[in-house]
A and B are shown apart, each in its own frame.
Chain A
Amino acid sequence: GAVVSQHPSWVICKSGTSVKIECRSLDFQATTMFWYRQFPKQSLMLMATSNEGSKATYEQGVEKDKFLINHASLTLSTLTVTSAHPEDSSFYICSARDITAYGELFFGEGSRLTVL
């Protein structure tokens, strides 16, 4: 099946710094990608929909200036957590749908962010 790769898997940073997470669709093109945040033992919370060549669509309550999303190509979307604080520590997962395969959704490996 199709593969979505996410990097880095783990990142530890100091409070106040910015962290960039990359999400790549390796063998299909994705005009949209999705970014989720997941707290321990909880469901996937959709943060935003990344749209290739245009602005991301953010879910209610998600600060767009805090979580910058860029979808510069059909295979790459990035999430930048700006001025990170300990409360931003979480598991972030991206996903993309392969519309050539019935629109099956594939997830990246996830990125565990710890802000000290």
Chain B
Amino acid sequence: GENVEQHPSTLSVQEGDSAVIKCTYSDSASNYFPWYKQELGKRPQLIIDIRSNVGEKKDQRIAVTLNKTAKHFSLHITETQPEDSAVYFCAAGEANTGNQFYFGTGTSLTVIP
């Protein structure tokens, strides 16, 4: 089955700096890679996703890159703000199905004002 690894587990950055979180996956059948942000005590919220036919996607300060050959994808947050502090999860799965996603172990991001 699929195995998703995520690094780092914790990340601290100064406000205004960039943050990068990396994930790898093992199953070439996975073709959909969402990223979720979870604030303390809240539900995970989708912040950006990418499909395997695209190498990069950007939404304001957030971008995701995908390297299908190497089976890794990354989340990039630029100009970080204190409200970006949260736990971020990557996931891998198959698009257009009801099958489960496989989640990374999470990255706790702290943005220091």
Question: Residues of A contacting B36 with CB < 8 Å?
Answer: 107
A34 adjacent to B100 (CB under 8 Å): yes
Question: Residues of B contacting A31 with CB < 8 Å?
Answer: 98
Chain A residues with a Cβ closer than 8 Å to the other chain, count: 25
- Nearest 5 A-B pairs (CB), nearest first? A107-B43, A32-B98, A43-B105, A43-B106, A103-B96
Residues of A in contact with B (beta carbons under 8 Å apart): 1, 30-32, 34, 41-44, 46, 49, 91, 93, 97, 99, 102-110, 112
A109 adjacent to B89 (CB under 8 Å): no
B97 adjacent to A99 (CB under 8 Å): yes
- CB<8 Å pairs between A and B, sample of 29: A1-B46, A31-B98, A32-B98, A32-B100, A42-B105, A43-B103, A43-B104, A43-B105, A43-B106, A44-B103, A46-B100, A49-B100, A93-B43, A97-B97, A97-B98, A102-B32, A102-B95, A103-B32, A103-B93, A103-B96, A103-B97, A103-B98, A104-B34, A105-B46, A105-B93, A105-B101, A107-B43, A107-B44, A112-B41
